[in-house]
Amino acid sequence: MTSEENHGKPETPEIGEKKWMLRLYVAGQTPKALTAFANLIKICEEHLDGNYQIEVIDLMVNPTLAKDDQILALPTLVRKLPEPMKKIIGDLSNTERVLVGLDIRPIN
């Protein structure tokens, strides 16, 4: 988390040099939440090469956290780092759009 090697513009991070901090908001173990989590792991493994940290927040447990990140829809994936903050809503089933949303260029 602290090992941020700033490489100029945060908009064009290079994989491996950047720590990705992702937060997935869900409400209980719903099918959508499970699908989203599985999709997220898959994408991260494929494209972020271990330089990531996923935090799953269950709003059923911590409802107050919904306000801070302006969460309306569930599931919501929030890219906390690198800045700027990005949000992706849905079960993350469309990998292309997730990559666009997270601003990750596919390796291949």
Partner 1 sequence: MAKSDKKTKPIVDELLKTPTGINGLDEITSGGLPQGRPTLVCGGTGCGKTLLAMEFLVRGATQFGEPGVFLSFEEKSEELSKNFASLGFDLDDLVAQNKLSIDYVHLEPSEIEETGEYDLEGLIIRISHAIDTLGAKRVALDTIEALFSGLSNESILRSELRRLFRFLKDKGVTAIITGEQGERTFTRFGLEEYVADCVIFLNHTVSQQIATRRLRIVKYRGSAHGTNEYPFLIDRQGFSVMPISSIGLDHPASTERIPTGIPRLDTMLGGKGYYRGSSVLVTGTAGTGKSSMAAHFVDAACKRGERSLYFAFEESQNQIIRNMHSIGIDLGRWVEKGLLQFQNARPSLYGLEMHLVVMHKAIDAFKPGVVVVDPISNLVAAATEAEVKSMLSRLIDYLKMKQITAFCTDLTSTSGSLERTEVGMSSLMDTWLLLQAMEGSGERNRGLYLLKSRGMAHSNQVREFILSNEGAQLKDVYVGPGGVLTGSARLAQEARDKAESLGVKLEIERKQREIERKKAAIEAQITVLRSQFEDEKDELERLIAKEKQRGETLDSETRTLAKARQADELPTQQDSTGKPRKGDRK
> Which helix (DSSP H) or strand (DSSP E) does residue 86 occupy?
strand 86-89
Q: Does residue 101 bind partner 1 (CB under 8 A)?
A: yes
CA distance 84 to 37: 22
- Within its chain, how far is the Cα of 33 from the centroid? 13
Stretch that binds partner 1, among 6-14, 16-24, 44-52, 64-72 (CB under 8 A): 64-72
- Within its chain, how far is the Cα of 37 from the centroid? 10
Q: Does residue 68 bind partner 1 (CB under 8 A)?
A: no
Q: Does residue 105 bind partner 1 (CB under 8 A)?
A: no
Among 10, 19, 21, 32, binds partner 1 (CB under 8 A): 32
Q: Does residue 24 bind partner 1 (CB under 8 A)?
A: no
